[in-house]
Amino acid sequence: MTTFVKNAWYVAAWSREVGRGFLSRTLLGEQVLLYRRLDGKPVALVDRCPHKLAPLSLGELKGDTVQCGYHGMMFDCAGACVRVPGQTNIPPTARVTSFPLVERYGAVWIWMGDPELADAGATITEVPHYGDPDWGLVDGNYLHFKSNYLNITDNLVDPAHTTYVHKNTIGNSAGEDVGVKVEQGDSHVLAYRWIKEAAPVPLVEKMANFKGLTDRWQYYYLHLPSTSYVDFGCIDTGVEPTEANKDEGFRSFSFNFLTPETEATTHYFWLHLRNYHAHDAEVSTDVVRLMTLTFEEDATLLEHVQREQERTGVREYTRLGIDNAPARIRRMVDRLIAREQAPAGAEAEEVAGS
């Protein structure tokens, strides 16, 4: 059974990756062809000719139309066949699926579920301060994880692992015994904690100018099915923790957009916003280096976890208190998948019978 939620927007590629050439990428287990029309709009089609299943990406772009490289059938941006060389009739089966796309936050987002339900306004998580000139942006970064995406969402709402997995990068023992609280909304889970009256961590000491102790926050959000962000920062001890005051303090937002590739692999797109040294290229380079190192530490560990899960057929034998947030996400995802896969009319019956 699949672990993919279909009715959701996923990052298919960074905008700069999609141009007048073909980009072929596996997304949610499907092979997808991406390119841009002459007017710049991006297009996504299943990368498979309905004739002999040749990948369309081996063909050619003729204007806005894709020509199969095997026998020359041509398909428009909506996937309709517009020419079959050597015959005048176009068989009704001669079409390929196309997918809705939107561009936002420097990325091309794809909807691979029921096209009737595609509504970007409702479901793409807002990225605060994106485009704000007072905030430094690092984007366009990508990692490939050899692990099911839910192992990664487990990890992204689990502050406890930083002490052990990231001892060479962002972890230290200071927060070891500070409890994590968990809150749940309709479509998100938040795991968070405040570390009060603490000395600034080394990164903050290097980049900011605090005179004394700080109150430091870590808020780990996971918006279903697989957009994660970490709101991290600190303010002077005693300052009221309003959003405005937090923006005045030392703050960053680290976004991770996970797109399942297969059941065992995941595309990991990330961007980072900060309110310190916004235009300092060296700081940006440092952010890329540190984040890449940190995410690679997770990738290595989760690749081994995936391998053992496949070997044993088991996901976990033991559950701990720190699994509260990950377990909530898995339950919510399971519910979404069950709803998507329910036979048509089942939901209406459920409502009528409730």
Residue ranges of alpha helices (H) inside 184-272 are: 202-207, 243-248
Q: Pick what 71 binds: Fe ion, ligand FES, none; C-beta below 5 to 8 Å, kind-dependent.
A: ligand FES
Supply the DSSP string of 35-65, one letter for each residue: EE-TTS-EEEEES--TTT---GGGSEEETTE
Q: Pick what 231 binds: ligand FES, Fe ion, none; C-beta below 5 to 8 Å, kind-dependent.
A: none
- Per the structure block, which two tokens stand in for 172? 């230290």
Q: Is 143 in the site for ligand FES (CB under 6 A)?
A: no
Q: Among 156, 162, 165, 139, which residue's Cα sits nearest to residue 274?
A: 139
Of the listed pieces 1-9, 66-74, 213-221, 314-322, which binds ligand FES according to CB under 6 A?
66-74
Q: Is 158 in the site for Fe ion (CB under 5 A)?
A: no
Total of residues contacting Fe ion (CB under 5 A): 1
**Rounded distance, CA 310 to CA 277, Å?**
44
Residue nearest to Fe ion (CB): 298
Q: Is 117 in the site for ligand FES (CB under 6 A)?
A: no
Site string for ligand FES, 19-58 (x = CB under 6 A): ------------------------------x-xx-x----
Q: Which is nearer to ligand FES, 73 or 234 (CB)?
A: 73
- In contact, 264 and 306? CB cutoff 8 Å: yes
**Rounded distance, CA 207 to CA 232, Å?**
14
Q: Pick what 49 binds: ligand FES, Fe ion, none; C-beta below 5 to 8 Å, kind-dependent.
A: ligand FES
Q: Which is nearer to ligand FES, 27 or 49 (CB)?
A: 49
Nearest approach in angstroms of CB 1 to Fe ion is: 27
Nearest approach in angstroms of CB 97 to ligand FES is: 15
